[in-house]
Chain A
């Protein structure tokens, strides 16, 4: 069964450092999402791509976060500089048409 791939699975960094997360959606899925899930909360949408274009990044803290999907396939989410409050699970999801969103296993970020 096709899955959304994410790496790394775990990342520990010090505040003020730069971090990057990678996501490879299910093949053929045009829509890709990045969510952030803080412990004890539900996931919150950060950015949505349709192919290579950003559809919604209204909740992305643009002073430190950036996301790209240059060829409309895999995607990278970057944080620079990381802050203590960025510690969370970063989830990538993809979707084909109006069907179910499938989530990857996530990257668990700890900022020290």
Chain B
């Protein structure tokens, strides 16, 4: 079983729509959770951290369910510039490096 699992997509979504991604993680001792964004042939960049209480940054909302070991990302009013791969990331639980999922590929269509 992979440590972090995501649906690779692609998700083809019309501009302006709301889209949600999920991921699950296997290490119950994980302590930190993130969503990273990666554009084609570029390095990953931190989109937002994820907290148990849920957190919002503009059009982006992230939530964490520790009991189910489940992380979500919601994008509202999607823009063409949101097209990218979204990587679910966990850290801690005995390891300091980041553990990445394979990523979910999002394509926003005009």
Query: Using a CB–CB distance below 8 Å, which chain A residues touch chain B?
Result: 31, 33, 35, 40-45, 48, 55-56, 91, 100-101, 103-106, 108
The DSSP consensus for interface residues of chain A is strand
Chain A's closest residue to B43 (CB) is A103
* CA gap between A36 and B95 in the complex, in Å: 17
Task: Tell me the count of chain B residues lying within 8 A, CB to CB, of chain A.
Answer: 19
- Asked if A42 and B96 make an inter-chain contact with CB atoms under 8 angstroms apart, the answer reads no
* CA gap between A100 and B45 in the complex, in Å: 10
Task: Give a binary string over B22-64; 1 marks a CB under 8 Å from any A CB, 0 the rest.
Answer: 0000000000000000000111111000000000000000000
Interface residues of B in 73-104 (CB under 8 A from A): 87, 89, 95-103
* CA gap between A79 and B97 in the complex, in Å: 21
- Residue B4, interface by CB 8 Å: yes
Contacts of B45 in A (CB 8 A): 103
